[in-house]
Structure 1
Amino acid sequence: MGNVRSLANKIDELAALTRYQPEYRTSSVLLFTETWLTSLIPDSTVALDNFHLLRADRTENSGKRKGGGLAVFVNIRWCMPRHCTVKMKLCNRDIELLAVGMRPFYLPREFTRVIIIAVYVPPSANADTASETLLSVTSRLQTQHPQALFLISGDFNHAPPSAALPTYTQYVTCPTRDNKTLDLFYANTKEAYTASCLPPLGRADHNILHLLPVYKPVVHRQPVVPRTVKRWTAESEEALRDCFNTTVWTELCDPHGEDINAITDCVTDYINFCCENTVPTRRVRCFTNSKPWVTPDIKALLKEKKRAFKSEDREELRRVQKELRRKIHGPADVLSCLVHLCFLPCDHQLCPIINHLPSFKHLHVPLFSVS
C-alpha cells in the first residue's frame, strides 16, 4: 500500500514488480492512493496480470478537477473476482473512500469475510469531518457484517482516525514520507500484522508499505474445552416421562407447607436428579471458533455428503447438499432475526417477521429463546 501520485505512468514498473518481486507477486491486495485516474483512462491501461482492479476516481464533488483517486488490486490467486464487491464509494471535499468486500479462498473461521476500506484525506480537508465520515461508514458496514475482518488503509495526512476508531489497532510504525508517518493501516484485531517499508514506486515521494500477516487463529491460541452434554433421544425422553408419571409429587411438596421457595428448590433438585439418572451423557470437545448453528444434525449431513461423494452417487449428493444448505441457512437466519427483534418497540411485530423466514417452519426453536 502507498501513495503513488499518478498510477498510469508507473504501471510498467508495477507490472514488473508483480512479476519478479515476491513481496508484490504474493501480496493478497495492492492498495494505492492518489492514482490520478479519470474516466478517460480505461481499466485496461492500468491492468495487472493475475490481479483484479477496483477503483474509485475523484469526482466533481471533491471541488477539484484532477488528482486524488483510489485503486485496489486483488490477487485472483487469493480471492476470485466474482467474490469481490464494492460496498461503498464516497468522494467529497474532506475524504475519498472505497470500501471493498471479499470472500477469499481461506479465512480463519472466526471471520466471515474481509472488508477493506481505502481512504485518502486531502491536505485541505477538515480533519473532524473526515474522521466522522469514516466512523459513520465503518459503523454501518460493521452492523451489516459483525464478524468480518475490517482493514482500513490509506493516506490520512493530518487526520489520523485513531481517536474515532479506538477499538482498531494501527500497525504502521515506520515513516512513509521523509520523517513523517502519513500512510496508516488499521485492523479490528490485535497482533495481526507487521509493517515494513519498500522503495517508492517511480518518482513518488511516499514509501510503499508491506504488511505481513502474523495473525494466529483463535483455535490455535485457546485450548479445546471438554464438556459433558446430555443425549436427548426419544427413548430418554420416554424414560424421563415415565419417571415423572410414577412420582408422588405430594410427598415432595407437603413437607414444605406454603414455602414456595423451598418447594421450588425441592422440585428442581428432584428433576435434575431424574435427568442425571435417566438421560445418557457423552464427552465432547468444544472449539473456540465453533459456530453456534453447527448442530449434530449438520455434522451428520456432512458425513453423509462424504459417503455420497465417495460412492459417486450424484443424485444422492445433490439431495444431501440441498438438505445441508437448508439446515445451515435456517439457524443463521433465525439468529439474525432474533437479534433484530431486540430493537423492535412492540412484541406484536414478532410473528410477521418470523413468518417471513423461509426456513423457520423447519426449525424447532422455542419461543422463550427470543429473550
Structure 2
Amino acid sequence: MVRADRDRTLSRKKSAGGLILYVNIKWCNPGHVTVKETICTPDIELLAVGLRPYYLPREFSHAIVVVVYIPPSANAARACDVIHSTVARLQTDHPGAFLTINGDFNHAKLPNTLTGFTQYVKCSTRESKILDMMYANVKEAYSSSALPPLGTSDHNLIRLVPTYKPVVRHQPVTTRTVQLWSGEVEEKLQDCLQITNWDLFTEDFGEDVEGLADCITLYIRTCEESIVPTKKVRCFPNNKLWINKNIKALLNKKKRAFMAKDRVGGKVSSEGAERRIEESQEGIQGEN
C-alpha cells in the first residue's frame, strides 16, 4: 500500500482523503516500490510511484504508475499543466520506463497534453460518462471492461486486460556485421598507416582540401576493412545495443547462481555484468 494523504491546507478542502496505490506483492517486491513524486494543490492531487516487478518485457527498464485525482471544482487547464510537467520530467529521467497515468479526471481531458499516450478506458465509469481514465505510453497495451462498483462507491471498477505483445514477438531477428578488434589487429592497422606514402595524396589534390579529406577517409576505411576481421551476429529486437555475447554469458551465470541459491556467486556475476555493460555503453557512445 502506497499512500499520499491529502493536505487540507494545500488542497483547501475540509474533508480528509488522498490517493492510494495497492501493489500485488506477487507481482513486485515491496522493496522495489519507490515514490517518485507527490503533489497536492486545489486543482490536482498526484502520486507517482516507480516499480521494478519480477518480470517486464526487456524493452522496458521499469514501470512508473501515476495516480491522479482532479476535483470537479478544479481548473482543468492548470491540472493538465501539472500532469504534463510531471510526466515530461519522469520521461526525461527514465526514458526506458513503461509509464501509465490513471485516476479520476472528472471534466479534464488530456489528448492535447499527453502526446504519444493512449487512453484505454472505453467503457462508462459513472452512469454514461467516462470520468476514470488510464493513459499509457505504449500502443495496443490493454483492453477494458466495466465491473460493478466496489462497496458503496458510485464509480464502476474497470478491468484492464493486457494485450501488449513484446517487441521480440512482432519484430524479426536481424543480422548485422561487427568488427573484431584486438591489440594485434590495431598494431597491424597502425603499421599499414605508418608505411603509407601520404605525400601522394597531397600531390594529386593540391589545394582541394575537401577532396583530399574524402580520399584519405576512403583509404583509411579500405585499410580497416581489409585488416580488421568481421563476423555476423543475430540481433534480437528487444536487446539493447550494448548487449553482447560476454554480457549474456554473465547474465546467464547470474541466473544459474540464483537458482542454486548461491548468493556470493550471484553477486559476483551481477557486478561483473554491470561493469561490462558500462564499458559497452561507453564504447557505443564513443562510436556515435
Quickly name the TM-score band, shorter chain normalised: 0.7 to 0.9
* Residue aligning to 1:240: 189
Deviation of the 1:313 alpha carbon: 9.0
Are the structure 2 counterparts of residues 133 and 311 from structure 1 closer, same or farther at C-alpha, using a change threshold of 3 Å? closer
In the alignment, the residues of structure 2 paired with residue 364 and residue 146 of structure 1 have an alpha-carbon distance, to the nearest angstrom, of 18
Take 2:185 and 2:233, find their aligned partners in 1: how far apart are those partners?
Answer: 19
Consecutive unaligned residues of structure 2, counting only runs of 5 or more, are: none
In 2, Cα distance between the equivalents of 1:91 and 1:309? 42
Alignment of 1:114 onto 2:74: no
Q: Deviations over 1:312-361 (max 9, x none)?
A: 998776544433333335666x6xxxxxxxxxxxxxxxxxxxxxxxxxxx
CA distance in 1, matches of 2:256, 2:69: 52
Contact 2:242 2:284 in 1 (8 A): no
**Structure 1: distance between partners of 2:101 and 2:44:** 13
Q: CA deviation at 1:166?
A: 2.4
Contact 1:68 1:120 in 2 (8 A): no
Q: Distance in 2 between matches of 1:231 and 1:255?
A: 34
TM-score, normalized by length of structure 1? 0.69
The answer to whether residue 10 in structure 2 is matched with residue 58 in structure 1 is no
Q: What one-letter code is carried by the residue in structure 1 that aligns with 2:242?
A: W
Q: How many residues align?
A: 287
Confirm or deny that 1:190 pairs with 2:139: yes
Correspondent of 1:136 among 80, 85, 92: 85
Partner of 1:271 in structure 2?
220
The within-5 A match list for 1:336-351 is none
Q: Classify the secondary structure of the residue corresponding to 1:75.
A: coil
Quote the Cα distance in structure 1 between the aligned partners of 2:231 and 2:267.
32
SS in structure 2 opposite 1:290? coil
Q: Deviations over 1:186-220 (max 9, x none)?
A: 01111111111111112322111001111112222
Fraction of identical pairs, as percent: 50
- Cα distance, 1:304–1:71 mapped onto 2, change above 3 Å: closer
2:241 is matched with 292
Counterpart Cα distance in 1 of 2:193 and 2:160: 63
For residues 261 and 90 of structure 2, the distance between their equivalents in structure 1, rounded to whole angstroms, comes to 42
Q: Do the aligned residues in 2 keep the contact of 1:169 with 1:186 (CA within 8 Å)?
A: yes
Deviation at 1:94, TM superposition (A): 1.2
Report if aligned partners of 2:70, 2:104 keep a CA contact under 8 Å in 1. yes
* Aligned partner letter, 1:291: K
Shift of 1:286: 2.1
Structure 1: distance between partners of 2:267 and 2:79:
50
- Structure 2: distance between partners of 1:124 and 1:312: 55
Q: CA deviation at 1:80?
A: 0.7
Q: Which residue of 2 aligns with 1:258?
A: 207
* Residue 165 (structure 2) pairs with residue 208 (structure 1): no
Give distance in 1, aligned partners of 2:154 and 2:108: 19
CA RMSD of superposed structures (Å): 2.9
Distance 1:249 1:190, change over 3 A: same
Matched, 1:153 2:102: yes
Superposition deviation, residue 284 in structure 1: 1.1
Q: Structure 1: which 5+ residue stretches go unaligned? A: 1-52, 335-362
Against the structure 1 CA distance between its residues 164 and 240, is the aligned structure 2 distance closer, same or farther, given a 3 Å change threshold? same
Deviation at 1:257, TM superposition (A): 3.0
Q: Could you tell me how far apart the structure 2 residues matched to 1:315 and 1:292 are?
A: 29
- Counterparts of 2:34 and 2:259 in 1: how far apart (Å)? 35
CA 1:292–1:207 in structure 2 vs 1: closer, same or farther (change >3 Å)?
same
CA distance in 2, matches of 1:270, 1:210: 62
CA distance in 1, matches of 2:111, 2:285: 42
Q: Distance in 1 between matches of 2:234 and 2:251?
A: 18
**Cα separation, 1, equivalents of 2:117 and 2:258:** 43
Q: Does the 8 Å CA contact 2:36/2:48 hold for their aligned counterparts?
A: yes
Residue 71 (str. 1) matches residue 20 (str. 2): yes
1:328: which partner in 2? 277
- Alpha-carbon distance change, 88 to 315 in structure 1, aligned in 2, over 3 angstroms: closer
CA separation of 1:187/1:303 partners in 2, compared to 1, >3 Å: closer, same or farther? closer
Aligned to 1:95: 44
Give CA deviations for 1:99-142 in whole Å, capped at 9, x if unaligned.
11100001111211111111111111111111112222222222
Note if contact 2:174-2:235 (Cα within 8 Å) is conserved in structure 1.
Answer: yes
Quick check: 1:59–1:65 contact (8 Å CA) kept in 2? Answer: no
SS of the residue corresponding to residue 102 of structure 2 reads strand
Q: Are the structure 2 counterparts of residues 323 and 193 from structure 1 closer, same or farther at C-alpha, using a change threshold of 3 Å?
A: same
SS in 1 for 2:72: coil
Name the aligned partner's letter for residue 109 of structure 1.
R
Which residue matches 1:165? 114
